[in-house]
Amino acid sequence: MEGGLDARSILITGSSSGIGRATAERFAARGWRVFASLRRPDAGASLRGLAASRGWRLTTPQLDVTDDESVATAVGEILRETDGRLDVLVNNAGYYAYGPLEETSSDELGAQLDTNVVGVHRVTRAVLPAMRARRGGTVVTIGSLSGRVALPMVGPYHASKWALEGMIEAWRLELYPFGVRVALIEPGPFETALYTNERPAAAADRPESPYAPLLASYRREAARLGRSDDLTPLLDVIERAATAANPRLRWPVGRTSFSAGRLRPFVPDRLYEWIMRMAFRMRRPLPPDPPRTDPSLRL
Ligand SMILES: NC(=O)c1ccc[n+]([C@@H]2O[C@H](COP(=O)([O-])OP(=O)(O)OC[C@H]3O[C@@H](n4cnc5c(N)ncnc54)[C@H](OP(=O)(O)O)[C@@H]3O)[C@@H](O)[C@H]2O)c1
């Protein structure tokens, strides 16, 4: 077993891949008791195998952040196993929905918010009574630099990550008197399954979509975007936020963390919009659509 045994415990949502899985491995290797929760238990086979081979104290409870019952069952079981002492929750589960907002259905937007925002709310609410009761614990949420800047075509994902900015800031203030620490991680782009599993709005790819040129510009820019494939700096930040006695609220990390996390608040909106219009080749407003000809009215 790497590291010594550590009495502390951590629950991570969305541990099947990417940041969630890497976080589970990081804390397990440090000797923590890790609840690496998954919405699909079969997706945890290789993590369970690794844990067994390294002697880690790691289990993979089923937890779907969009399902009240699944959250209540998983958290109830974890609190029983830890005698009510869960030290850290990492709200990590999420996915990337994109597309023109007009072409995004209410259901598609609702599903994005249900996972990325209400999912965080559900799981955090479930662990808080135990954390408040013992006046301790840390809630770390994986937000995004997409919660600090906005690009066209990424409205659904931005809506979720901007919502987290406000929700987590308010929650941190509410939990201060109870000794529960709250931190928001704001990663720039890292190479994970987030992008292979991204969900474009179903209507976005209609060839007749008025947004087709803008969507093509977005995809071209997204393909050129450099993503870091080394998660180490991000894991270091998550670990620091999770273990600090008095963590700060926001933790920007990764590429664009300077331009998006630190610089953006000082860039006037007009200048930012001009830069976006240049990047996405929106030089000037389009002429009005030609008048519609209704064939039934033809003589
Ligand atoms: N990668 C980046 O560049 C980046 C940047 C900023 C923020 N983030 C944030 O980091 C977090 C993790 O993303 P990632 O990059 O590691 O991508 P990822 O590899 O796709 O991981 C996403 C995880 O969330 C899980 N998940 C999705 N819906 C769920 C649900 N309803 N219940 C439980 N789990 C669910 C997925 O499980 P399944 O395997 O079952 O789908 C998967 O384990 C996300 O919140 C993302 O927004 C990522």
Kindly report the protein residue whose alpha carbon is nearest to atom 25 of ligand 1: 14
Domain 9-283 of CATH type 3.40.50.510: no
Give the Å distance between the CA of 1 and the centre of ligand 1: 28
> Which residues are the active-site residues?
157
Place of tokens 């993979």: 60
CB 173 within 8 A of CB 74: no
Q: What pLDDT tens digit does each residue of the chain (299 aa) get?
A: 555 777 899 999 999 999 999 999 999 999 999 999 999 999 999 999 999 999 999 999 999 999 999 999 999 999 999 999 999 999 999 999 999 999 999 999 999 999 999 999 999 999 999 999 999 999 999 999 999 999 999 999 999 999 999 999 999 999 999 999 999 999 999 999 999 999 999 998 898 999 999 999 999 988 888 899 999 999 999 999 999 999 999 999 998 888 888 899 999 999 999 999 998 888 778 888 878 766 665 54
Kindly report the protein residue whose alpha carbon is nearest to atom 11 of ligand 1: 92
Instruction: Determine the atom of ligand 1 nearest the C-alpha atom of 116.
Output: 45
Q: pTM value?
A: 0.95
Place of tokens 């996390």: 261
Q: At what angle do helices 68-81 and 119-133 cross, to 10 degrees?
A: 30
Task: Find the angle CA(222)-CA(235)-CA(38) to the nearest 5 degrees.
Answer: 80
